[in-house]
Structure 1
Amino acid sequence: MATKNPKKSNLKQKLTDKYRLVVLNENTFEERFSLKLSRLNVVVFGGAFSIILIIATTILIAFTPIKEYIPGYASSKLKADAVKLTFEADSLKIKLAILENYTKALKPVLTGEITSENIDSLQLEAQQLTIDESELDASREDSIFREKVERENRFAITNSNLNNLKVVFFSPLSGTISQDFDSSAKHFAVDIVAKTGTPIKAVADGTVIFAGWSAETGYTILLKHTNNFISVYKHNGNLLKQQGDLVKSGEVIASVGSTGELTTGPHLHFELWNGGYAVNPTNFIDFK
């Protein structure tokens, strides 16, 4: 027959032996409180209390402002200040570039490369130029051309409207319009919702007159088209064209994003201007 290990029996007995904890009144020796415990109970209760204490401490640090006092964690206000300072630094960099260009333009005058003598010599050469007045007389072809131009200018309003009708715009993006053009609410655009990264296309042939970043509208690009039309694309994820580039109608110029402080999610904020006035894009473009 197998015999039990006396060491294991002694360990089990030590863990399960009951002890009584009694709290007495020091003066009267009256029993106030008593509790029966064993070594095993103490280990279990102590371990459970330690686990609960660790979990509570972790939750307290992770979901309360106390974590800001721990080295390595930055406060939300500090992050906001850092972002604001980054935008201000970008603005200062642009202003510095403008100031440098202005200084370069003044440098020839300040260093003496352009003097009053040079200016006087240019003026003298201009005065010595002789003009043959016979060349100023209009030829027969010139007279016919002037008469044609004057005839067209008599109906400038009508011709301007006809020219505007010749401009054909295409939809920059296929998506759902979340907010329509509303001049009374100063929302001079249509907002088109689409997935992040969806290509944004030029509505017509034109030239990029601005492509850059602003704090409120994020990555923004502006195109100038014929007949004084300007199209504006805001809150882009990234820009694929630079200022001065020529683009064709339907060419991809950016992608959908959610950049800038005024954004409400991935969408395109599209504006259309003509002659300095905002026009309703839905009157010219079918976004369906």
Structure 2
Amino acid sequence: MNFKEYRKKIATKSLTKYVLVLKNRETLEDKLSITLTPLNLILLLSGIFVLFAFIILFLFTRTPLREYAYRSQNETFYKNEFLKMNNLKDSLMLKIENIEKERQNLLNILSGNDSIYQNVPLTDTANVSLDFEADKISEDEAKFREEYEKTSQNLAEISPFELKTFFPPLKGFITDTFNTETNHFAIDIASAKNTAIKSIGNGTVIATDWTPENGNIIIIQHSDNVISVYKHSSAILKKSGSYVSAGEPIALVGTTGELSSGYHLHFEMWKNGTPVNPKDFIIF
């Protein structure tokens, strides 16, 4: 038998029809009859197999059974996610501690206490000996010194804050001045939208915030327990903890907050927890 005859024989057998009959066992009555060929049977079984494989694949990819199928991979995934969440938790806790530290620092300044950032070493005068013999001076010199002390102010009594000058935060028109009678402890300076607001001196940003009344706020701590406050800005350019130099842009002019009626800067200066008039220290 050659190949052609063998192939023809196989084709003939695959197309041979068979009848599958289901009978009633007691009456032998035909209940169901199905005509099949070997080829149809193969196709039917193949279809059932494919359907079964699809169902299994669906169960192990789209249902909770996938947890059991990919258990080792899931354990690695969840372990990595746990480590990420743990690191994020540590980062958030650190930020919360920094915010609490800045809040406490601001409360100290507003209460007139020393800043927690100001760690200036003080001279230990406990062991300084004051036992010395004063130089002998002439009678004329003694008289001159006495008259000078009565008519002149000793420069050593002038605080560094009184001698300090600050950089103007913004060039514009002053629309409202410092007035203790109206509880307006600031100067309002009108200017164009998004004009750069600058730091009045070297310092550290101790707070950046937003409130419904004042909008965007940035607060900077300077030396000698001086803080400057800038309100109603459209954007804050610095983050808490950043060091800024005098004249460095820190925010942009805006009109954020319910208390703002136009594009301007609400600028405050505080010394030892007490508001001071900025015009006494800045030439606007």
Q: TM-score, normalised by structure 1?
A: 0.46
Instruction: Give the structure with the larger helix fraction.
Output: 1
Flag the structure with more relative contact order, 1 or 2, with Cα contacts below 8 A and sequence separation at least 6. 2
Q: TM-score, normalised by structure 2?
A: 0.47
Larger radius of gyration between Structure 1 and Structure 2: 2
